[in-house]
Amino acid sequence: MLALTKKTDYALLALSYLARTRGALISAREIARLSRISLPVLTNILKTLVQSGITVSERGASGGYRLARGTDEITLESIISAIEGPLRFVQCTVDPSVKESSGCELADHCPIRYPAQRINVRLREFLESVTLGEVIGDYAERISVNVEGCGEHSQEAVAAMKE
């Protein structure tokens, strides 16, 4: 069965909170509190999302994270690839633009190699057509936020979430 890992689940959850802040910064600690994701795991995920250009971070007492682009400009494929690595329908499927061996000793004689590659291309095209905005839908509008204990720099983000 095809399924996303917990890391990707957590990334989508964190991104849904960032989407709701409407560009205001929110700290990793605050996202961890709201989402109940452990702070060390979340910090690694956010760092990966920053490196891939999906989020941006600002350091300092008033620092935090926000989306780098609008939710309709961030694709599901970019999120999954950032967290999981290159998309592969099966292990022998590689990006045709990359001259890399699949590492499978059956690849030269495999009857499903090319059909699997076509499926991989179609799957990638589909995931590129789905945006973060579509994934979170109106979920971002329904996030319940407990504002007690929020840091001062997160108050603006939490206020935006409650609007």
Q: Per residue in 82-138, pLDDT tens? A: 999 888 777 766 655 544 555 677 777 888 888 888 888 899 999 999 999 999 885
Tokens describing residue 139: 């979920």
Alpha-carbon gap, residue 73 to 52, rounded angstroms: 14
**Banded pLDDT at 25 (limits 50, 70, 90):** very high
**Banded pLDDT at 11 (limits 50, 70, 90):** very high
Q: Per residue in 29-77, pLDDT tens? A: 999 999 999 999 999 999 999 999 999 999 988 889 999 999 999 999 9
The pLDDT assigned to 78 comes to 96
Alpha-carbon gap, residue 135 to 106, rounded angstroms: 37
Q: Domain limits of the chain?
A: 1-74+138-163, 75-130
Residues 24 and 66: beta-carbon distance below 8 Å: yes
* End-to-end Cα distance, the chain: 39
The pLDDT assigned to 115 comes to 87
Tokens describing residue 109: 């004689």
The pLDDT assigned to 111 comes to 86
Q: pTM of whole model > 0.85?
A: no
* 1-74+138-163 belongs to CATH 1.10.10.10: yes
